[in-house]
Amino acid sequence: MRHALLYLSFLLVIVATGCLKTTSNNQPVPTPSGTFSGQYKRFHRHTAIGAWDTVKTNLTVKFTATDNTYAVTGATTTIHANSYGTFTMVSPYIGFTDQTYSPTDTSKVAHLVGYYNYSYDGTNLTMYASSADTLLLGYTLKKVTN
């Protein structure tokens, strides 16, 4: 039940994030720039038994807005990989093209790749993506340096 509530709360964040296209003063959402630190979380539901697996790890993402590049550090060998690449923003989505990711990679190590719903207020950056009703990926990051 606890995992179901967590999953539902993250789904609400995804829906709410999709509605937050601009800041309250109708200015465009700023492009992330600088170093962000926080947590990556993955929720996976096993369809055969209905149980949820939850994994999380701390990591750092450095965004460079001038050339729309990013780099992930603080990886683990089993949860999330260090990586780098480019990003694009089309509110409410932020898309990542990871230069280290291979679609034929069969490891279970995550990469920051693909499109995520996002919310960014200049300090706090949240990004979530889901695959049907069995997988939810999330990044909850806070700006630590310019």
Model confidence pLDDT, tens digit, residues 8-64: 444 444 444 454 444 455 667 789 999 999 999 999 887 777 778 899 999 999 999
Q: What is the dihedral of CA 45, 48, 49, 53, to 10 degrees?
A: -20
Which residue reads 């039940």 in tokens? Answer: 1
CA distance between the termini of the chain: 40
Model confidence pLDDT, tens digit, residues 72-125: 999 888 899 999 999 999 989 999 999 999 888 878 789 999 999 999 999 999
Q: What is the pTM of this model?
A: 0.78
In whole angstroms, give the CA distance from residue 132 to residue 81. 23
Domains observed in the chain: 2-145 (2.40.128.280)
